Amino acid sequence: MIRTQLEHNNRAESVPGAAQMSRHAAIGQEAEILTDIYQQDTNIAIWQRELSAPIEHAVRQLLITKPEFATELILTPQDARARVAESIDTPHSAELCADVAELVDMFCCLFALKRVGMRLHVLAGAMCPKFHDDRVPCRLVTTYQGVATEWLPHERVERTKLGRGSLGQTDSQSGLYQSPADIQQLRHGDVALLKGLLWQGNENAGLVHRSPTTPGTDKRLLFTLDFIN
């Protein structure tokens, strides 16, 4: 496992309740790194992985046969594989469905959930083009194809510039971050847990992230898991 401590920046102290607050990223090449999301000072855990050739093939076939595919399902570990296969309904999708089912099982096990909300969407553009944090406890994100999610280290964010605080300016104009070098990016295939504002004790420290710009006519296949009531 690798734990990366990100450089501290006092700009976050301008947000009420964020004084002296520090958050880090936990990054590793084994799935066990995801358990680090339970650490109070961790607001993103990243399992860096390479997709297998059969999964890559299944993803390519899905984008070819269903270039506008989008599905949202409520899944349990027991029914995930069959229901995702039924929704995708393309040849050669077995490995992709198995991977999705494994991630559903891991997410439910990690957070003691009986079911989760899943989204699997082909995207031609940025779904959420501006940096933001989410009013969720935690979200799992992975990009099966294309450019992956961008995020900012907590200590590099001027949180007063989020949302309406940007006064209509772009992220690069508003002062939300100082330099393009502050922007971090997942790789396609990586599995990330993004801690949100509703995680107990994480108010004003939700992971700030955005959808990347998709170059040209390229498409992304984005997968997310969320807590549901």
Structure-token match 């498409």, residue found: 219
pLDDT digits (tens, 9 = 90+) for 148-196: 999 999 888 877 778 777 767 777 777 688 888 998 999 999 999 999 9
Under 8 Å between Cβ of 80 and 39: no
Domains (ranges, CATH) in the chain?
51-226 (2.60.120)
Question: Side by side, which strands form the sheet with 208-210?
Answer: 184-185, 150-152, 208-210
Average pLDDT over residues 68-81: 98
Tokens at residue 227, please? 């807590």
| Residue 11, pLDDT above cutoff 50 | no
Confidence of residue 129 (pLDDT cuts 50, 70, 90): confident
When the pLDDT of each residue in the chain is averaged and rounded to a whole number, the result is 87
Buried b (16+ CB within 10 A) or exposed e, 12-48: beebeebeebbbbbbbbeeeebbebbeeeebbbbbbb
pLDDT at 173: 74
* SS3 annotation, 51-62: CCHHHHHHHHHH
pTM (2 decimals)?
0.86
* C-alpha span between 104 and 159 (Å, rounded): 31
Q: Is the pLDDT of residue 210 over 60?
A: yes
Instruction: Give per-residue pLDDT as tens, 211-229.
Output: 888 776 789 999 999 999 7
